Amino acid sequence: MQPARVFFYFYFYLASTVSNGRFYWIKIKATAEIRDWAELDRFSKLKSKSPIGFEPFVAECLAYNNVVEALKYIPRCDNDKKAAFYIQTK
Of residues 62, 50, 52, the one with CA closest to residue 22: 52
* Neighbour tally for 56: CB within 10 Å: 19
Section 11-34 average pLDDT: 82
* 4 band by pLDDT with thresholds 50, 70 and 90: low
* 75 band by pLDDT with thresholds 50, 70 and 90: very high
The CA distances from residue 7 to 1, 12, 26, 31, 44, in Å, are 11, 9, 11, 11, 18
What pLDDT does 47 receive? Answer: 84
d(CA 23, CA 80): 25
Section 61-84 average pLDDT: 95
What pLDDT does 62 receive? Answer: 97
d(CA 1, CA 5): 7
